[in-house]
Structure 1
Amino acid sequence: MATILILVGTESGNAQMVADALKPVLTAAGHRVDVTDKAAGMGDLQSHEIFLVVSATHGSGD
């Protein structure tokens, strides 16, 4: 299966909760999943096949 990196951008923690909820679902489907709120480096780009970005909006989606 795929190696997936979930990149999280959050202020209040809601996007982190979404990413944390996705991880076990994807893992149960047989994927290797990592979650980070840090900037992805070249090593991350080379060692993962799929990137999911989970980011929050504030206000009215501004």
Structure 2
Amino acid sequence: MSEKAKENVHKAMKELNYHRNDLAISLFYNRTYIIGLILYIENICTSDQSLAADFH
């Protein structure tokens, strides 16, 4: 791809306020990181419950 073409694409992306869609990318590559996020959130919630129990 030529530098001029890249510049045109980047200019159009900026004008259209384009942001990549991470869900679409994960579907394309057949890879997500949702499980890791759920486990992380579950760990935080468990820690918060332990802190709440200690507070009472």
Give the structure with the higher percent strand. Answer: 1
Structure with greater helix share of residues: 2
**Of the two structures, which has the highest relative contact order with CA contacts closer than 8 Å and spacing of 6 or more?**
1
TM above 0.5: no
- Normalising by structure 2, report the TM-score: 0.31
